[in-house]
């Protein structure tokens, strides 16, 4: 089967100079029965498998491709079920154009976050999106796979979407096989702070988790820029602060300049709270400023592949 990276050239995200008031009631929601005939219960609960096609490509935006920058501090996460890595999710979308790969993060009992341009590849069919939380590689996904049931897009400019998943064949929800990530209220998130972006880049072996380290260079409205490196397939990756809380959702970058994410500001937080009833936000006032830095203690033994030229599979050009 032909498999591709995600590309969505039509969606432009504005850089906001001030906070934008968003009405969550205007969010666009697509369910599996909206545009497609309802499947049987047994079909809905069939656990998906990773497509191992030789031409898998990531979802990315042509006008805002994921960028390798001078700061290319990426390392593989081998124990993907450990701590804040567990809810990081490998994504595949199967369509008539092929199979596309991306990333996401579980934030509720049955929901995760990714990009609008990732879910756009489903062409309105949530069941085309498959999620594999904590995937280790194409042959090892310890928490199984889940099939999309409903998509809700952020009503503003930010490249953000919520996907609700059907239970697996054991009647488990995606947020029951892994502990959902904690999100930051971002009250104390500022420029120059250390961050990590963790996901499934397309220039590495299929369905392997990688972490990239860097710092924030700019925050403006719902847009956050940083100096670390990412590639196609990282679309939808969570951006973690030094307390391993999600502060943004990665979308791409500008060539030779920066990579960026949807910054989870108050407007985005309100949207998430109204659409994910069990989402958990931290209170920065109660956090210890001396918490460990970027979770590196969680993974000191997982740096066997620090050279970005190692273990690459045949990476096709981004679509």
Residues classed as catalytic: 117, 159, 235
Place of tokens 């906001």: 16
Residues 96 and 46 sit within 8 Å (Cβ to Cβ): no
Cα gap 252→280, rounded to integer Å: 25
Instruction: Give the residues across from 283 on adjacent strands.
Output: none
Cα gap 134→140, rounded to integer Å: 9
CA 152: distance to chain centroid? 15
| Cα 312 to Cα 10, 50, 95, 256, distances in angstroms | 30, 18, 25, 22
Cβ-proximal residues to 16 (8 Å cutoff; 6+ apart), any chain = 157, 220, 221, 222, 223
């Amino acid at each position: 089967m032909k498999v591709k990276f995600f590309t969505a050239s039509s969606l432009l995200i504005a850089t906001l100079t001030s906070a934008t008031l968003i009405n969550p009631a205007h969010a666009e929601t697509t369910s599996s029965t909206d545009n497609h005939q309802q499947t049987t219960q047994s079909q809905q609960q069939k656990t998906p498998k990773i497509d191992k096609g030789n031409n898998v490509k990531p979802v990315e935006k042509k006008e805002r491709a994921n960028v390798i920058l001078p700061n290319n501090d990426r390392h593989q996460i081998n124990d993907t079920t450990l701590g804040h890595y567990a809810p990081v999710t490998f994504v595949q979308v199967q369509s008539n154009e092929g199979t596309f790969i991306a990333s996401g993060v579980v934030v509720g009992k049955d929901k995760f976050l990714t990009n609008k341009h990732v879910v756009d590849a489903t062409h309105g069919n949530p069941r085309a999106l498959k999620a594999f939380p904590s995937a280790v590689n194409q042959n090892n996904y310890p928490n199984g796979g889940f099939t999309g049931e409903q998509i809700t897009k952020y009503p503003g400019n930010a490249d953000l979407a919520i996907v609700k998943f059907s239970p697996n064949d054991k009647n488990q929800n995606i947020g029951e096989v892994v502990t959902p990530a904690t999100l930051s209220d971002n009250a104390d998130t500022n420029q120059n702070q250390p961050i990590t972006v963790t996901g499934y880049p397309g220039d590495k072996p299929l369905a392997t988790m990688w972490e990239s380290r860097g710092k924030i260079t700019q925050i403006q409205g719902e847009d956050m820029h940083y100096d670390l490196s990412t590639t196609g397939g990282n679309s939808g990756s969570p951006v973690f602060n030094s307390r391993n809380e999600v502060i943004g959702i990665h979308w791409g970058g500008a060539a030779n300049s920066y990579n960026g994410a949807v910054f989870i500001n108050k407007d985005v937080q309100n949207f998430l709270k109204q659409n994910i009833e069990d989402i958990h936000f931290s209170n920065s006032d109660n956090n210890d400023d001396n918490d460990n830095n970027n979770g590196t203690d969680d993974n000191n033994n997982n740096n066997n592949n620090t050279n970005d030229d190692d273990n690459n599979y045949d990476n096709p050009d981004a679509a």
